[in-house]
Structure 1
């Protein structure tokens, strides 16, 4: 029987919320990019093909199978309320910022567009109601070709609209220059687990050793930070500085101390319950590992 509404029990999981955020040179694998700035009025993504119907004598209208795509118009628009010299530089396409003046950053523009003026990508990051992972829309080889229009008004803040247009790359003319990363919805509610090396209560650990946490499933890259993975001396809680690395599979985090650990000393390695898997399930509790160096 026909229904009178498209609303189903799954509708609530497929809603895109809020204005989202805009990034330059976003890496969808690591989740790292350069935040462009705050917006008001959000933005807009356009991926519009120019479709031309092929006319055939004797055919009275459009015919199935006789449409061709002549071009794609792909863009992302951001309505920026935060306006900085860097944002103005990007908006001007060929903009440059001179920081040598002691009072002002001086923004100018060139008369020619160079390859370096194209931005590798512009990304919009939004929130899907049914997932802890974001919706990500990326356009490639981006350039604003509309210039800057900055409108001011009494008792109001200026908003700078920037429309970044995607461009084909000469090395890959068959790929339309955008991608939409739509998170898979999952019923996974199982908490991740982790194994730490050195193991708890281990002794005679080399002072040159790294701390390695191995998870049973991929974790969210944003959680890999000194706030969630750290090493300290057991005696006084002194934090041990070092660098963190996440492997490509997102399952192994390595802490490489900046300097060798102290000999014959007790240490505590901690990973916090703020670490989550790709479906948003967190560690049940902080995982604390005690060990002693040789």
Structure 2
């Protein structure tokens, strides 16, 4: 853990050292609302090698593809929609849906706020870690400067109730131009998430039922009591650090089009219910077009 903290300090120093004044910042089209000063409609497609929930993953790998759309009104109001298809789920056309609405507004010269609500639809016995809580409310306060800072608070509720806090530091870096209208950019970010983990209790219960339906041997058959096989579900109501996440997205931008590949490395804390102390890695590729 000490080496990881030293790595964080080194990363912060590197980001600040790479920061340059001036230049245009290119942001993810689905979340760019205030800067546009006009109404926009964005469509996108995403591939990910696994599903991440605050850097955590389920016991089985969940590679997926997704289609996304977002409408941002120049006032700051926006609507979003997303459909997921797990690549190992042959029984359904879509494995989950998500619909959302929000409002972004300035708090001053450098500060902005974003308040949003999302509702997700998961089928019964869904393998997603977050399937217990289809409702989610988010409030994010961000400050744009040489290095961007933000803090997000999430309240997820449904079958259970969970709270999450995520402070983040990031930096937009323009790497080089291929042509007059082409730009390759890099937007590294570092965040830490703390929260409760009631969702994991529901996930384990649903996983037990799903495994029994699939014919996988349950703990009583294998020997030992369920509590011995799964002793971690005792501290899910505590508010604790869950993960440290380093994200490294590289984007190609041309006019209204954006292509992005991203790697994420997440160090789970010892308090995380899902594989504590492990480093998870995620990879994604996305395409966006804004009208």
Q: TM-score, normalised by structure 2?
A: 0.22
Larger of the two Rg values belongs to structure:
1
Give the structure with the larger helix fraction: 2
Q: TM-score, normalised by structure 1?
A: 0.22
